[in-house]
Structures are given as structure tokens and as C-alpha cells.
Chains A and B, each alone.
Chain A
Amino acid sequence: MKSKIIVVLALLGSTALAVANPVQQIHMEWLNIIALAAHQTNYSGTFVHQYGNRLETSNISHIFDQGGERTKLVNQDGSKCEVTSNNSAEWCYPGDKVGQAEQAHDRKAFPVLLPEQLSTLGENYQIHTGETARIAGFDTQVLELRPRDSLRYAHKMWVHIDSGLLLKAAVLSDRQEVVEQYTFIQLKVNSSTKPTKTPLSGISKTTAQPKLPLAQKIVAVADESAWKVDGIPAGFKKIAEIHRFMRGKKNVATQMVFSDGLVGISIFIETRSSNPDSALGLSSQGAIHIYSKLNSDYLVTVVGEVPPSTVLQVANSVRNRGLLSN
């Protein structure tokens, strides 16, 4: 019930969108509802994740209360691995209970999409609301985001009509082939917040601090970029450029992040000497592709939820401004 009210508030609250077309505006509101629901709904369930030739089942529990947001993920296949997140921090507990820490860097406190992000999204994707469908016993609205070029993937989403949760989502190639998808096979949406009775009760709001030092420390936000990237597809805007330490490496890496409102492309640039045994080439996990290449004295790595040709195009276009002017 609470989530329904939030949904209505979200519909009423964000009328100042920079989208002229009323139909398109309704589509955009769906995206806001999805973003909000993923943060603020209490739920637990089981989903199946499929990519390439892999198929994996996991359990998820999610709580949102005064203490913020907590999520617990436990895989059901293979050796046990538990991932818990408390607001922006994330811990992984493999079978041997060694805590591995990952400090996420939350960009904003409120999960609703900024109007700026929504308008960027609207420029890059055509949004369609399709039929309704039944997923895991719940009624869903099908939403399709079709890219305006072949440099990004299409996304199909099945949104739970009552809560706004994404019960199923698929990433599609330009040939309409499924690159990656997940679907809930069982789900319980809780209307009230009672953390003590949920599977999350084991996670206190002050989960033990990570045992390992935070390796991925952000050193500084870059003032002016020393790099030029012409191959970024139209519609992607730079949202961050930072200097940071990568795990187990001594030298600072530069990370640039570009967004098209829905997905992102990160470019990492490190000195070659600090990465003597880096993996070069293209690697994939579902819809995420990583491409590493040597660019004179630098190692360039591009990561993004975009097709392989896009990460290749981006990596091949990275140039040092200093070298260009010489």
C-alpha cells in the first residue's frame, strides 16, 4: 500500500519533466516508478539469471526503513556466496567467511531519476509500453526501450503493476536476440516493514566493518581531462572523471564515466608499467563487455553495458591531449 502511495506521489511530483509529448511523459514516469520501487520496496524472492550458456538461481531480500536500504543476495547453485549491501556499502561473504569490501560511491541520496537524466534517456531510446503479462504470478506491464542506434542494447522490462518492481528484464541485441535476462520465479512483496521477521534479520544496521582495507580509494576528482575520447557514441555524456587506486596496484588510475541515462561506459587509463600482466582483449559477462588494449605507454580498459563493438570503438579512440598537441 505504501509503495502504491509512493508511486502516485512520484507521478504527481515530477511533472516538471523536460518531455513535451504526454505519451512519452507517461513512459518516463514508468522509469521513475521502477527506480523508486527498486529502492523503497520491501520484498524477498527467488530469481533465475541467464546469460550466455550460464543459468543461475539466487535468493534476494530487500529492506527499506529508517535505517536506509539493505539487500541480501544468496546464490542457490554451486558453492555458497552471500552478498549483503547496507546503503552504499557492499560485502561479500564467500563460504570461507572472509569479508571482502567494496565501498560504493553513491551519487545521490534520493533514488528518483533527475529530470536531466530522464531527458537524456528519452533522446537515446524510444520507449514503448506494450502488453501486460503475468510473471511469477503477478500482473506486469511490459516496457520496451529501443535504442536509436546500434551502439547500445535494447531493453525489455516487465514491471509489477502494484509495486513497480522489475520482475523480469531482458537485454536484446539489434537482432532481437537475448543477450542476458533474469526473471523472478517466486516473489513476496511486503507492504509493512518488519525487519525482525524477514530473512534479513541477520544483518544489523551497523554490519561489521570490512576486514580488508578499502582498496579502490578515490584520490581526487579530475579538474580537466588529459584525455580525448572521440569514439563515445552520440548521446553519452560524461558524468565523472576521477583518479583512484585499483586493487593491488600502486599507481593511480584515471576513470572517466559516460552515461546515456540508462547505461554507462567507464574508461580506465593506467600507466603500462604498473600493469605488466594485465589481460588484454575482450571479455564478456552477459550484457557487460570489457576491452583492454595497450595505447603506447598506457593501458586502456573500457567497461560498459553496451555491445562489444561499442567498447572496442571507445577504447580505440582514446587519445592523450598532451600527445595530440605535440
Chain B
Amino acid sequence: MKQNISALMDGELFDEDSEVVLNKLKRNPEAHAEWQVYHLISDALRQPDHVRPDISTSMRERLRDEPIVFAPAVQQKKARWYAVSAAASVMAITLMAWLSLQADSKIQFQVATTQNTMHPASFSAADNLDDYLSAHREFSPSKDVLRMTSHVRTVTRQQTNRIDK
């Protein structure tokens, strides 16, 4: 299943296979959690300063921020197919978001509300997180074999904080 999710994310599956995997995702909460984690990791690997834990939250925010277009779109035969597939995608995403809310509605809701009210998308968390990094470093065994790495990270960390401030 993990391989399938990964392939689906990379767009390597054919339509029929994608459908099978999506169906499995809908039915299996564990696989759905896996799907979310894969997205989070994929975001993290792109190395932004901060990544949100819940894609459905950011998706809702993105949708909320989308301008509402009142003018009718120009209808073209080809465009209709895109519209159908786009609508299907949106439905799938909405279903995902709904499923994730169902899975753990209380916690998810708390996450969503706190993020919406407190943090804009581009906030910098370095100041707050630095405390955790220092506290972790005091006990981490990486001070032993990887001591030199630990030194290297210290100066970089201080420098990063200054840039972010």
C-alpha cells in the first residue's frame, strides 16, 4: 500500500489504478494517515522553514483565499473534461478533508482553529523552537560521536536565528 500511495503522489499510476488506491484510502484510516504523512514529508523535504501538520487545513485555507469568480467561464468542449476531472479532484480532496475530520474531529479542529487564528502561513518559529533545540542538545548522544557536527550546528543555529529575527 505504501508503494501505491507513493506512486499515486508521484503521478505514476494509471487512472484505473489511481482509483483503486483512492478507494482504499477512503476506506482505510491508516492508509489515509499514511497519505497525509507522505505529503508532510514531501513538503518538509523541500526545506521550507516550517510545514503544517495537516494538509486538509491548508487546503481549506487555500480554497477560502481563492477569489470567487462571478463571470461565467468560456465553455469549450475540451475545457469541460478538465472541469469534470478538476471537480472530481476537489470532491476527492473534500472527502479526504472530511474523512480526516471524522477520524479525530476534536484534535483536528483544535489544530485548525489555533493555526488559523495565530499563525500566518509565513511565520517564523525559530525563536520558540531554539529553546527545544538547546534542551535536546544537552542530553542528545549526538554530543559524543557527532560532537563536531554538534559544534557546527550550534553556530549555524545562532546565525539562522539572527536572520529570522
Interface status of A135 (Cβ within 8 A of chain B): no
Chain A residues whose CB sits within 8 angstroms of the CB of B139 once the complex forms: 105, 107, 239-240, 255, 257, 264, 266
Interface 1/0 per residue, A88-127 and B, CB below 8 Å = 0010101000000010110100010100010001000000
On whether the beta carbons of A105 and B138 are closer than 8 Å, the reply is yes
On whether the beta carbons of B155 and A244 are closer than 8 Å, the reply is no
**Which of B137, B138, B141 is in CB contact (< 8 Å) with A261?**
B141
Chain B residues whose CB sits within 8 angstroms of the CB of A257 once the complex forms: 136, 139-140
Which residue from chain B places its CB closest to the CB of A79 in the assembled complex?
B162
Chain B residues whose CB sits within 8 angstroms of the CB of A263 once the complex forms: 140-142, 146
Interface status of B68 (Cβ within 8 A of chain A): no
Known interface pairs A263-B140, A279-B125, A281-B53; A60-B132 also in contact (CB < 8 Å): no
Interface status of A314 (Cβ within 8 A of chain B): no
On whether the beta carbons of B132 and A301 are closer than 8 Å, the reply is yes
Chain B residues whose CB sits within 8 angstroms of the CB of A31 once the complex forms: 145
**Count the A residues whose beta carbon is within 8 Å of the partner chain — how many?**
86
Interface status of B79 (Cβ within 8 A of chain A): no
**Which of B49, B106, B136, B162 is in CB contact (< 8 Å) with A283?**
B49
Q: Is the interface of A mostly helix, strand, loop or mixed?
A: strand
Q: Is the interface of B mostly helix, strand, loop or mixed?
A: helix
Chain B residues whose CB sits within 8 angstroms of the CB of A64 once the complex forms: none
Q: Besides A255-B135, A264-B136, 20 other CB < 8 A contacts?
A: A31-B145, A60-B151, A73-B154, A83-B154, A92-B158, A104-B137, A240-B139, A259-B140, A262-B141, A277-B118, A278-B128, A279-B119, A279-B123, A280-B53, A282-B43, A282-B44, A283-B125, A303-B135, A308-B45, A312-B41
Lowest 10 CB-CB distances: which A-B pairs, in order? A279-B125, A52-B47, A264-B140, A38-B147, A266-B136, A73-B155, A257-B139, A303-B136, A282-B51, A259-B141
Query: Which positions in B face A, CB cutoff 8 Å?
Result: 37, 40-41, 43-45, 47, 49-53, 106-107, 110-111, 114-115, 118-119, 123, 125, 128-129, 131-142, 144-149, 151-160, 162-163
Query: Which positions in A face B, CB cutoff 8 Å?
Result: 31, 34-35, 38-39, 47, 49, 51-54, 56, 58, 60, 62, 71, 73-75, 77-79, 81, 83, 85, 90, 92, 94, 102, 104-105, 107, 111, 113, 117, 121, 155, 165-166, 169, 182, 215-216, 239-240, 244, 246-248, 255, 257, 259-264, 266, 268, 276-286, 288-291, 293-296, 301, 303-305, 307-309, 312
